[in-house]
Amino acid sequence: MHSERQVSLFRNGRNQAIRIPREFELEGDKAIIHKEGDKLIIEPIRKTGLLAILSEMEPLTVQFPDVDTDLKGLDDIEL
């Protein structure tokens, strides 16, 4: 559904600004803005989940040290 509404542009210091009506509010507190011809496109930046971040990472190639060589076995621990 495309809805539209006329809005006013105003100056905020050295920046041009627009008041976004409630029905067009974006989630979050950051957005990406880009220009296509004479149109401005504003898209919210969505929080990325941990699984998405991990899937974008390069696999680790470093061998981790063996840190449990001096630990007692579970059967040897006294409670």
Question: DSSP of 15-54, one letter per residue?
Answer: EEEEPPPGGGPPSSS-EEEEEETTEEEEEE-PPPPHHHHH
Structure tokens that stand for 77 in this block: 């621990």
Q: Say if 21 falls within a structural domain.
A: yes
In a domain, 2, yes or no: no
pLDDT score for 10: 96
Q: Would residue 47 count as lying in a domain?
A: yes
Q: Quick check: is 75 in a domain?
A: no
* d(C-alpha 1, C-alpha 30), whole Å: 24
Tell me whether residue 16 is in a domain: yes
41 or 70: which carries more pLDDT confidence? 41
Which two tokens mark 44? 């919210």
The predicted model gives 39-54 an average pLDDT of: 88
- Count the domains in the chain: 1
Domain of residue 20, residue span: 9-62
pLDDT score of 11: 96
- In the predicted model, is pLDDT for residue 1 greater than 60? no
Q: Is residue 23 part of a domain?
A: yes
Total-model pTM: 0.53
On the question of pLDDT at 2 being above 70, the answer is no
Rounded-to-integer distance, Cα 57 and Cα 48, Å: 13
